């Protein structure tokens, strides 16, 4: 770990300690979640990663998806653009998704079907639906509108080596889940673990951040450090199905152009970014 990162963590821990001194200055649950979403979904101005996703059934059958993910944040808002290019399985090679994400309204999505050499607009399905057949929902992958839930700070506790805030988020509208508990690392603001409770008020899905790595990148003229969850698992405890995701070749602040995130580039994927 480089010195800047350790300094950042030390500062974060210190400020966390400082905040815990007086009850009044305690961060609100909403602020914690907001900060966590920023760290988790918005790291850097843009990001590229090679993603390996393993879908594993209860009986051990496995499907693997390998894709390149490009992400760019809109500098002026919370909007984001994603470009997902599939390498595997073999018969879907070159298939690609383009997602323009807006926190408070439906996404715009496009898909490219190589066998038909055709890009099509896809209606934003329920953001709670499964992301490419995995145990993650679209929302789990790209974030959820903070105002859609009521957040409560339940307690602070140590989970493994991390000092965590435990925040409960209850959806305001009726959803497929009734509440979510998040253990948020005070140091990195990243979620260490999340528990989703279903309509029967039973634990249904568990997210765990299994490995967090530090990456440095140029940002605003100087080097910045980012904590990225490079291994994560979402397990459906009811069906026994789980999805393991590993990031590699992570790079941030690459200066990805807006032109990358257009329907045109679905047909002609940017070879530079997706080897």
* Site residues (vs other proteins, CB under 8 A): 55, 57-59, 61-63, 86, 89, 91-92, 95, 97, 111, 113-116, 118, 120-123, 125-126, 129-134, 174, 198-200, 204, 236, 238-239, 241
CB 195 within 8 A of CB 181: yes
In the bound state with other proteins, the residue whose beta carbon lies nearer, of 88 and 156, is 88
Instruction: In whole angstroms, give the CA distance from residue 231 to residue 102.
Output: 26
- Least separation in angstroms between residue 28's CB and other proteins is 30
In the bound state with other proteins, the residue whose beta carbon lies nearer, of 127 and 208, is 127
- Least separation in angstroms between residue 128's CB and other proteins is 10
In the bound state with other proteins, the residue whose beta carbon lies nearer, of 131 and 247, is 131
Instruction: In whole angstroms, give the CA distance from residue 54 to residue 262.
Output: 28
In the bound state with other proteins, the residue whose beta carbon lies nearer, of 59 and 77, is 59
- Least separation in angstroms between residue 84's CB and other proteins is 10
Helix, strand, coil % (nearest 5) of the chain?
A: 20, 50, 30
CA angle 66, 72, 77 (to 5 degrees): 140
- Least separation in angstroms between residue 264's CB and other proteins is 17
Q: What DSSP line would sit under 91-148, residue for residue?
A: GGTT-EEEEEEETTEEEEEEEEEGGGTEEEEE----TTSBSTTSSSBHHHHH---GGG
Q: What is the SS3 assignment for 263?
A: helix
Instruction: In whole angstroms, give the CA distance from residue 87 to residue 65.
Output: 8
In the bound state with other proteins, the residue whose beta carbon lies nearer, of 186 and 205, is 205
In the bound state with other proteins, the residue whose beta carbon lies nearer, of 33 and 56, is 56
- Least separation in angstroms between residue 85's CB and other proteins is 13
In the bound state with other proteins, the residue whose beta carbon lies nearer, of 110 and 261, is 110
Which sign does the torsion angle of CA 31, 34, 38, 41 carry? positive
Phi, psi of 95 (to 5 degrees): -65, 145
- Least separation in angstroms between residue 170's CB and other proteins is 15
- Least separation in angstroms between residue 131's CB and other proteins is 8
């Amino acid at each position: 770990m480089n010195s800047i990162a350790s300094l950042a963590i030390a500062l974060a821990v210190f400020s966390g300690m400082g905040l815990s001194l007086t009850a009044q200055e305690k961060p609100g649950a909403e602020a914690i979640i907001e900060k966590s979403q920023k760290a988790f979904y918005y790291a850097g101005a843009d990001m590229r990663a090679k993603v390996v996703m393993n879908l594993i059934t209860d009986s051990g059958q496995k499907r693997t998806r390998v894709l390149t993910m490009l992400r760019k944040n809109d500098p002026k808002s919370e909007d984001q653009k994603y470009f997902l290019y599939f390498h595997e399985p073999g018969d879907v090679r070159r298939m690609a998704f383009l997602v323009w994400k807006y926190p408070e309204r439906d996404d715009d999505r496009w898909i490219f079907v190589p066998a038909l050499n055709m890009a099509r607009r896809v209606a934003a399905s329920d953001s709670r639906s499964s992301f490419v057949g995995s145990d993650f929902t679209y929302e789990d992958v790209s974030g959820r509108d903070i105002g859609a839930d009521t957040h409560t700070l339940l307690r602070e506790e140590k989970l493994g080596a991390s000092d965590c805030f435990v925040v409960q988020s209850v959806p305001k509208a009726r959803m497929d889940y009734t509440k979510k508990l998040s253990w948020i690392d005070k140091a990195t603001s990243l979620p260490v673990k999340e528990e989703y409770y279903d309509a029967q008020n039973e634990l249904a899905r568990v997210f765990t951040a299994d490995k967090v790595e530090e990456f440095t990148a140029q940002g605003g003229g100087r080097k910045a450090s980012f904590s990225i969850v490079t291994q994560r698992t979402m397990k459906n405890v009811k069906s026994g199905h789980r999805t393991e995701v590993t990031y590699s070749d992570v790079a941030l602040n690459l200066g990805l152009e807006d032109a990358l995130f257009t329907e045109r580039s679905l047909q002609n994927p940017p070879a530079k970014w997706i080897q």
